[in-house]
Amino acid sequence: MWNASTEPNAYAVDLVAWDFTRGKHGCASEFPYPTEHTRWGLAGTANTMTFVHIDSDGFNTFLKIVCGMKVWGVYKEKLPATLSSTNAFLHPSFHLNAVDETTRFDLEAVVLKPGNLL
């Protein structure tokens, strides 16, 4: 989104990373922040759905609803475990295309509406 905010704040480490990257070889200091790769708008019709996935490039995501509603569901490990484990996503019960009862993950969902920011 051309008008997305790129104001520095307490949690936008992408802006910090960009600040450190600029001026290095292959990334001239006058390059603008790549807004088109990190901030975009989505328009979906009724019943539009995206199945379970790991979000873009492993980045975390923030999302603001402009109009309509959207159900946002997340996997949550039943037992506290660290994602630094190499087995975090290698367990046989971890599926992205199905949610069976053997999975070690719980699911939670929240309905997002205008005025919500996830």
- Give the position of tokens 């802006």: 15
Dihedral, CA of residue 76, residue 80, residue 85 and residue 90, to nearest 10: -40
Handedness of CA 31, 36, 67, 99 (dihedral sign): negative
Minimum separation from the CB atom of position 32 to other proteins (A): 14
Minimum separation from the CB atom of position 56 to other proteins (A): 5
Minimum separation from the CB atom of position 20 to other proteins (A): 12
Nearer to other proteins, 29 or 47 (CB): 47
Report the first-to-last Cα separation within the chain, whole angstroms.
17
CA angle (101, 91, 87) in 5-degree steps: 145
Nearer to other proteins, 19 or 56 (CB): 56
